[in-house]
Amino acid sequence: MIASKLINFASNKLKQNKILSHKLDSELLLSKVLKKKREELLTNLSQKINKKKILSFNKLILRRSLKEPLAYIIKEKEFWSKMFEVDKNTLIPRPETELMVEQILKIYKNKKIFILDIGTGTGCILISLLSELKSSYGLGIDISKKALYLAKKNAIKHLVNNKISFLKRSFKDLYNCKFDLIVSNPPYITSNEMRSLDDDIKKYEPKIALDGGNDGLDVIKKVIYKAKYILKFDGRLALEIGNEQFKKVSKLLLKNNFKIELNIKDYKDNTRSIISRLIR
């Protein structure tokens, strides 16, 4: 079978299973099987695909039809113009988080800082920051050993492993450290909302990185409280938050001696990140 017919067949199957990006996903999965870039595939749609590769491709299409995220199937996701290795032990990096990275880089351009990344996951936030902040260094912590293994691989891939240490530790157990900047994309989805998430998130992404408790603020409260004691004077806390959590998180920050400097909106005009400064 030629590539174009194979893509159309797979695309229709995914469409029947309500995968909105059915055509694109089919092209990317075939590219993965052929070990070619999508652009290269699209310029040679008349090429014949052998039976072995068709079998491999069909297996991937079946996984996608069951709502498994594309990033987990192809084992990578682009973030900040870099490809990060991902698996089911980490959240999939999302474009909204890039908006926070962008603003942090504007603040700290050409400066030397020490960064803590709480719940580092793939390491995408810390690695992206340190790839631009050439004189800075950081610490990424996570309670998942498997996530840390992946983060280390990504740091090596993007040539910043000499500037980052990774530790299997809860932020609550950090002492005798002082950071210029703390960044975190903590779990912020309420327990009720967890039940109504799309299957590709609910069934596949790690619940521990999503579930923020009854009000979605369980971990956020603890991060803000701890940050007071491990930030340097005038240090900053950059937090990703859930939709419609801005007012509640703002009150928590003000109560804990933080001054809000920036509220960062996503592509739908919802505030999704806050950068605040410790004023004591």
Rounded to whole angstroms, the Cα distance separating 273 from 275 reads: 7
**What is the predicted pLDDT for the residue at 179?**
97
Specify whether domain 3-66 bears CATH 1.10.8: yes
**What is the predicted pLDDT for the residue at 4?**
95
DSSP assignment of 193-257 equals HHHTS-HHHHTTS-GGGTB--TTS-HHHHHHHHHHHHHEEEEEEEEEE--TT-HHHHHHHHHHTT
**What is the predicted pLDDT for the residue at 83?**
96
**What is the predicted pLDDT for the residue at 196?**
81
Sequence spans of domains, the chain: 3-66, 76-278
Q: Which CATH architecture has domain 76-278?
A: 3-Layer(aba) Sandwich (3.40)
Question: In three state form, how does the secondary structure of 248-267 look?
Answer: HHHHHHHHCCEEEEEEEECC
Average pLDDT, 10 consecutive residues per value, the chain (280 residues): 95 96 97 94 94 96 96 96 96 94 96 97 98 97 96 98 96 91 91 83 86 85 95 95 91 96 91 93
**What is the predicted pLDDT for the residue at 280?**
73
Single pTM value for the model: 0.93
Q: Do 3-66 and 76-278 have matching folds?
A: no
151 close to 166: Cβ distance less than 8 angstroms? yes
**What is the predicted pLDDT for the residue at 187?**
84
48 close to 2: Cβ distance less than 8 angstroms? yes
